[in-house]
Amino acid sequence: MIVVTGGAGFIGSNLVQALNRSGRTDIWVVDDLQDGRKFANLADAVIADYSDSQRFLAWIDSPAAAQAPIERVFHLGACAVTTTWDGRYMMEVNHEYSKRLFEYCTGLCIPFIYASSAAVYGTGREFAEAGENERPVNVYGWSKLVFDQFVRARTGRLHSQVVGLRYFNVYGPREQHKGRMASVVRHLALQAMSEGRLTLFGEHDGWGEGQQRRDFVHVDDCNAVALWFAAHPDQSGIFNCGSGQDRSFNSLARAVADWFGGDIEIGYRSFPGDLVGAYQSYTRADLTRLRAAGCDIDFRDLETGVRGYLDVLQAGAEIDRGAVASRQRGAERER
């Protein structure tokens, strides 16, 4: 049995799909379905069971948990709303819950692969997995860092695999439930549909309009890394999980515009005041440790990833390149 916490969420539901493709259906999904719309992420998946996240936490303290045939745990459940400043809630969900699962897994020598975040690096320019580079600028990033530090403090006493994956800017299918926290790719695609134009942040922090640069990584590549570690239980540690490339938001917007095939205008708006001092204008995963561990996953380039993702959105009728082209032809006739 494979446990996937956050299995109805964005990265988790895509991992369930990847496990299904590999022939695994003995999957126990753990999540919080207070937002019941997330069920759609698993409607086409095959799983063995589902449990509410709080019920599962109570279960691991029961006598039955010590005898359960759990092969490994992928812990992807978290509060990922980076703009939340409720530190008590953030630490309860992202730190305390993770500690309980860590102690359960390591106590029974169950491999444990969990989601950390590039948010631990804050506004720095160095992204190697080292303490001197880790300066989060929001409580979400700090909650992830504190758990990473908790794991690091126990590394020498571990007898089973523990892997933390620091996800960079992940995009891809099954993120429709995330609202404001969905990827920029999704937001731009929906904006193209509704407005026929794309809008990016303007100048900020020494960067020109749309020139801020991020490491954008497709969710399938992230899950390929997680499954690589599952196949290499001798490897433990905290590793960056990004493409290793930084691309500008202008490049991302152009990839979206090119997919629609029209002359979509790219405009800019003033940088939001509430993000000043708490925004990563630049990220690029340092993959030195990941490659040294032997992980040879080939990350797709941004243009390839965006095209594939938008194809999925079109297949699900969330966007329609034809509709945008028709709107543009109508606008041209009016002019």
Residues facing residue 269 across a β-bridge: 201
Q: Taking a C-beta distance cutoff of 8 angstroms, is the pair 253, 210 a contact? A: yes
Q: What is the DSSP letter of 265?
A: E
Instruction: Establish whether 178 is a catalytic residue.
Output: yes
Instruction: Establish whether 121 is a catalytic residue.
Output: no
State the Rg of the chain over Cα.
Answer: 20
| 91 vs 229: CA distance, rounded Å | 26
Which one is catalytic: 104, 114, 121, 140?
140
**191-to-96, 154, 318 alpha-carbon distances in Å:** 38, 46, 11
Which one is catalytic: 50, 89, 178, 268?
178
| 282 vs 21: CA distance, rounded Å | 34
CA atoms within 13 A on the CB side of 260: 30
Q: Taking a C-beta distance cutoff of 8 angstroms, is the pair 238, 166 a contact? A: yes
- Pairing assessment for the beta strands 213-214 and 247-248 based on DSSP bridges: antiparallel
Phi and psi at residue 31, in whole multiples of 5°? -165, 180
SS3 (DSSP) at 324? helix
| 47 vs 57: CA distance, rounded Å | 19
> Would you tell me how many other CB atoms lie within 10 Å of the CB of residue 313?
19
Residues with catalytic roles: 140, 178
